[in-house]
Each structure stands twice: as C-alpha cells, then as structure tokens.
Amino acid sequence: MGYEVDLRALIDRELDIGFPGGNELLDFSDALLGSKKSELDTSRLALSESLGPEAISAAAIIAATFTKNDRVANGTGIPAEPRMMEGSDDIRELLGLKKYKSAINTYRHM
C-alpha cells in the first residue's frame, strides 16, 4: 500500500509509526499488557474510532495468538532459522533487541 513505516515508533512513542491506526494499535497493545482497565477502555475506544469496532477483536486475536505461539516456541526451544535471523538483523539492531539478556538464546542453535 506504500506506507513508510517507522519501526522506531515501537520503542519511541513520540514518533509516528506512519501507518493508519498504528498509534492506536500500539496504545492498545500496551494496554493489553498493562494492569489498568481504564487504559484498556480508553485504547479500545480510540482503536474503534480510528479503524472501526472490528479492529478491537482482530487486534486482540492477533495479540493472543502471538503470545501463545511465542510461549510454545520458547518452551520447546524452537530455534530461529538462519535466513530469518539474517533478514531481521537490522530491525533487531534498530530496536535494541540484542541488548536483552535473553538475546543470547537467539544464537544458541546457529
């Protein structure tokens, strides 16, 4: 669709991610992981106003599925494929993912 997405907005919320409804989706994902119902309510309303009410259930389903898949992969020790690692090196660097202690597990099976 020709959007110029700024992935730095994932870690620097002052930036615009550059995708319609993107900031509302990020707020919703933060609220899903948070503990304040009021923030979740506010983010649901903003997401509905931005992308429509169906976006709330779609975003919640995607978040739940990702969390499930991530836990299964971590729990079973599924390694990342080398081509996936090579193709995402710049993104992991940009987002500072290599700085996390758990990043050592990323390279364990390579």
Q: What is the mean pLDDT of each run of 10 residues along the chain (110 residues)?
A: 89 92 96 95 98 97 90 78 85 88 72
Q: Tokens 């429509």, residue? A: 52
Task: Give domain limits for the chain.
Answer: 1-78, 79-110
Q: State the pLDDT at residue 78.
A: 77
- 68 is written with which tokens? 């499930």
Q: For residue 48, give every residue at least 6 positions away whose Cβ sits within 8 Å of its Cβ, in sequence order, or none.
A: 55, 56
The pTM of the full predicted model, rounded to 2 decimals, is 0.74
Q: State the pLDDT at residue 1.
A: 67
Q: For residue 79, give every residue at least 6 positions away whose Cβ sits within 8 Å of its Cβ, in sequence order, or none.
A: 108, 109, 110
Q: State the pLDDT at residue 109.
A: 61
